[in-house]
């Protein structure tokens, strides 16, 4: 901490927010994937600029979903539409996590193993945002 900064001047990391065509639907996917509670979703989520936020049950960084008009999905690994960011999730059993993610609607895009016991697999969520399941 920098003692020369006024109290409250330094931000704290609070949330990652993903643009998408349907915030409630994408929030449901990630709530199921992460086994987090799905909040009540009001009609405002269906309005332009509407949003839904998932709060981790044991504290930490939230994931938000923001309705964006004209949303265009990333095309990674093809560079036509850049991914701009992706989410990494650690798993203890990559095979079980893979099967679960795909059953929930994720699409497997790429795999890379650093060693036989460490690596990651890249997926696209139902609207195309890349995310990784990582094991170390």
Find the radius of gyration of the CA atoms of the chain.
17
Of 47, 71, 95, the last residue of a domain is 71
Q: Give pLDDT, residue 47.
A: 85
pTM of the model: 0.86
50: domain range?
14-71
Residue 3 lies in a domain: no
Enumerate residues 6+ apart whose C-beta is below 8 A from 17. Answer: 51, 63, 64, 65, 66
Q: Give pLDDT, residue 48.
A: 82
* Domain identity same for 90 and 135: yes
Q: Give pLDDT, residue 112.
A: 86
Number of structural domains found in the chain: 2
pLDDT-based confidence at residue 5 (cuts at 50, 70, 90): confident
* Domain identity same for 77 and 135: yes
Residue 7 lies in a domain: no
CATH of residue 19's domain is 3.30.720
Sign of CA dihedral 78, 16, 27, 71: negative
pLDDT-based confidence at residue 89 (cuts at 50, 70, 90): very high
Inform me whether the pLDDT recorded for 115 exceeds 80. no
Question: Rounded mean pLDDT of the chain?
Answer: 91
* Domain identity same for 65 and 85: no
């Amino acid at each position: 901490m920098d003692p020369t900064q006024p109290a409250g001047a330094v931000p704290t990391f609070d949330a990652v927010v993903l643009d998408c065509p349907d915030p409630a639907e994408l929030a449901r996917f990630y709530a199921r994937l992460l086994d987090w509670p799905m909040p009540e979703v009001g009609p405002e989520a269906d309005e332009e600029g509407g949003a839904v936020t998932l709060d981790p049950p044991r504290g930490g960084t939230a994931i938000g979903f923001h309705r964006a008009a004209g949303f265009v999905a990333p095309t990674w690994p093809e560079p036509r539409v850049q991914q701009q960011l992706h989410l990494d999730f650690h798993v203890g059993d990559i095979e079980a996590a893979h099967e679960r993610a795909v059953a929930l609607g994720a699409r497997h895009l790429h795999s890379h193993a650093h060693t036989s016991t460490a690596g990651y697999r890249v997926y696209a969520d139902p609207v195309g945002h890349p995310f990784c399941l990582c094991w170390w």
